[in-house]
Amino acid sequence: KNQVEQSPQSLIILEGKNCTLQCNYTVSPFSNLRWYKQDTGRGPVSLTIMTFSENTKSNGRYTATLDADTKQSSLHITASQLSDSASYICVVRGNPYSGAGSYQLTFGKGTKLSVIP
């Protein structure tokens, strides 16, 4: 069964500090992995999208890494700001062109990040 596990479930950090969120997945075959930021009551907003051949991708203070061999990804947030308080969701898309692969997106349950002054 395709699964995406995120850790930690929640995290509290001081403004200005760095943090790293983890994502492990079992989706196979794999097409791409995405990180989204979701503010409370709003739709998710894309931060990064990586295919299996990409190891790292940055978007401002957000840097995502991917190890397709170990099926692990991380999202590193540098110099956190109060506005970074949100849920961060890891999403993996299967590969529909490989055997029984599917377009389907599999979502992690997210990490709830709180940045405090």
Residue numbers at the binding site for another protein (CB under 8 A): 31-32, 34, 36, 41-46, 49, 51, 89, 91, 93, 95-96, 102-110
- Report the nearest approach of another protein to the CB of residue 13 (Å): 22
- Report the nearest approach of another protein to the CB of residue 14 (Å): 27
Q: How far is CA 88 from CA 71, 98, 107, in A?
A: 18, 29, 11
Closest to another protein by CB, 72 or 102: 102
Instruction: For residue 105, give every residue at least 6 positions away whose Cβ sits within 8 Å of its Cβ, in sequence order, or none.
Output: 91, 92, 93
Closest to another protein by CB, 1 or 117: 1
Tell which residue, 42, 56, 54, 28, has the closest CA to residue 87: 42
Whether the CB-CB separation of 18 and 80 falls below 8 Å is answered with: yes
- Report the nearest approach of another protein to the CB of residue 55 (Å): 16
